Amino acid sequence: MSKDKKQAPITNTPLFGKENFIWMVAGLVVMAIGFFLMSGGKSPDPNVFKDEEVNSFTRITLAPILLVAGMVMEVFAIMKKPKDS
């Protein structure tokens, strides 16, 4: 091995910029709303099953859409190149 091999200078650039972190937090908030909308449906009487509460549009359709949208936002936030300051 030769000793005169030059190493690249070490740069101290951040991996993520401010905009990336904003997108990450937004994605987490959207996913939290999706999980919140999916939860619930507890009946005071365990012998009674309320189909309209458990299989509602909010729990079956809207909440999973919000979860997927939040995950897409997270992927976008990670893959987005930070702007040079």
pLDDT at residue 1, rounded to an integer: 55
pTM equals: 0.76
Query: Three-state secondary structure along 7-61?
Result: CCCCCCCCCCCHHHHHHHHHHHHHHHHHHHHHCCCCCCCCCCCCHHHHCCHHHHH
26-73 confidence digits (pLDDT tens): 999 999 999 999 987 777 887 888 788 778 899 999 999 999 999 999
pLDDT score at 84: 64
Q: Where are the domains of the chain?
A: 18-41+51-79
User: How many other β-carbons are positioned within 10 Å of the β-carbon of residue 68?
Assistant: 13
Q: What pLDDT is stored for residue 22 in this prediction?
A: 95
